[in-house]
């Protein structure tokens, strides 16, 4: 039986949820005092704010000019499903799944769209499927970073440059923290509630010229809901990608995203955002290296996420649940239990808005909570 004295210092910001994630350092409601509330998003100023969000997204995320960026409804889920419903069915599809959200896209394609010419490449939590088995004459659907498993693809080198199919990438916990290879990606989706700590309910979709060509040359066999329609009369609806959203966005959330984007620009852009996330994850790595009872769920160091860091713990399924409750009661860490479909464990968000000093302050609390949970 091990007893550890309760730590005296708590993280200044104990928000380690994997979504919605921690706000930017120094955030307060006063930063939103210039939000265009009570005004139409279709007003000239409303369109300008939305266009500014797109412009800054391109700058900070380093999206090439060849790709279009649109703000869409229903968070990353809406953006992914917009892509699946609008683009799939033109050719066979390979579906990659190694965690909960990838499994969700598999279910959508097989059970909702009912595509017959679909192949599923799966791996258990903690691993990646065999990327060499992918047929790039097919469309390919995958998550860049498995939010619920802490396993990410190592890079874009495995994607064929001369592919015939489209690559549709759910990048929601990778965008702004990992190096997305846009030359290899035809559709990229994310939600600004993740790495930049924005508010929920809004998604972003990024389209390559090849994706636009598919949209303008292919009509799916199924009807499309209004919020999924990106074409009219066989032509792309350009307004979606210049600030004319399909449905009404929250201008308060848009302002919050603009604040986060300007913060990201001010600290040095994508390079610094990635460095911050990796520094946070390195603190957890160091802790695990010195503890026999804690383990990364992601087996290969080359495919470990620097944002959604997922851990397993010795001692039985009840241990991580007890730890999460203890840490929340002490206000030392909120929302760090594993995702409901994942193996029992902890999931500590280490994205760019989290301060490394807060992750460091969390470490003694993890030791304390484990000792308490296993007494």
Backbone φ, ψ for residue 108 (5° rounding): -60, -45
* Interaxial angle between packed helices 318-329 and 356-373, expressed in degrees from 0 to 180 and rounded to the nearest 10: 120
CA distance 86 to 150: 29
Q: Residue 283: its pLDDT value, please? A: 98
CA distance 369 to 375: 10
pTM: 0.98
Alpha helices in 62-179 (DSSP H): 75-87, 100-107
- Residue pair 38/252 in contact (Cβ under 8 Å)? The answer is no
Q: Where are the domains of the chain?
A: 29-265, 269-373
CA distance 221 to 113: 9
Percent of the chain scoring above 90 in pLDDT: 99
- Residue pair 134/120 in contact (Cβ under 8 Å)? The answer is no
What digits encode the pLDDT tens for the residues 296-312? 999 999 999 999 999 99
Q: Residue 51: its pLDDT value, please? A: 98
CA distance 194 to 117: 33
CA distance 284 to 306: 10
Q: Residue 3: its pLDDT value, please? A: 81
Q: Give the residue among 189, 192, 179 at the shortest CA–CA distance from 211.
A: 189
CA distance 333 to 324: 8
What digits encode the pLDDT tens for the residues 319-328? 999 999 999 9
Q: Residue 34: its pLDDT value, please? A: 96
Q: Residue 1: its pLDDT value, please? A: 56
Question: What is the CATH number that goes with domain 269-373?
Answer: 3.90.1150.10
Cβ-based neighbours of 83, under 8 Å, separated by 6 or more: 168, 187, 189, 205, 211
At residue 144, the 3 state secondary structure works out as coil
At residue 59, the 3 state secondary structure works out as helix
Q: Give the residue among 237, 207, 205, 231 at the shortest CA–CA distance from 219.
A: 231
For the chain, list residues with pLDDT below 50. Answer: none
> What fold characterizes domain 29-265?
3.40.640
């Amino acid at each position: 039986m091990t007893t550890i004295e309760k730590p005296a210092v708590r993280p200044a910001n104990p928000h380690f949820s994997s979504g919605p994630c921690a706000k930017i350092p120094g955030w307060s409601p006063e930063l939103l005092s210039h939000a265009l509330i009570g005004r139409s998003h279709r007003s000239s100023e409303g369109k300008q704010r939305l266009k500014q969000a797109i412009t800054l997204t391109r700058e900070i995320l380093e999206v090439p000019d060849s790709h279009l960026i649109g703000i869409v409804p229903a968070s990353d889920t809406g953006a992914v499903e917009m892509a699946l419903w609008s683009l799939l069915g033109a050719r066979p599809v390979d579906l990659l799944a190694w965690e909960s959200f990838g499994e969700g896209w598999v279910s959508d394609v097989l059970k909702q769209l009912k595509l017959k010419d679909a192949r599923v490449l799966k791996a258990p939590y903690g691993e990646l499927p065999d990327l060499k088995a992918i047929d790039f004459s097919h469309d390919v659907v995958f998550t860049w970073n498995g939010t619920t498993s802490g396993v990410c693809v190592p890079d874009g080198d495995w994607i064929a440059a001369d592919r015939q199919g489209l690559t549709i990438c759910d990048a929601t916990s990778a965008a702004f923290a990992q190096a997305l290879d846009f030359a290899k990606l035809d559709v990229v989706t994310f939600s600004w509630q993740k790495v930049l700590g924005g508010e929920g309910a809004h998604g972003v979709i990024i389209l390559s010229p090849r994706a636009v060509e598919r949209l303008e040359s292919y009509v799916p066999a199924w009807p499309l809901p209004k919020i999924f329609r990106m074409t009219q009369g066989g032509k792309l609806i350009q307004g979606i990608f210049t600030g004319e959203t399909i449905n009404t966005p929250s201008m308060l959330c848009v302002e919050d995203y603009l604040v986060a984007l300007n913060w990201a620009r001010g600290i040095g852009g994508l390079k610094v955002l990635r460095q911050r996330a990796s520094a946070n994850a390195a603190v957890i790595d160091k802790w695990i290296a010195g503890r026999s009872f804690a383990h990364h769920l992601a087996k290969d160091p080359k495919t470990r996420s620097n944002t959604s860091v997922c851990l397993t713990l010795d001692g039985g399924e009840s241990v991580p649940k007890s730890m999460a409750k203890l840490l929340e009661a002490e206000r030392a860490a909120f929302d760090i239990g594993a995702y409901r479909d994942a193996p029992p464990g902890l999931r500590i968000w280490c994205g760019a808005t989290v301060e490394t000093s807060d992750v460091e302050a969390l470490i003694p609390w993890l030791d304390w909570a484990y000792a308490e949970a296993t007494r």
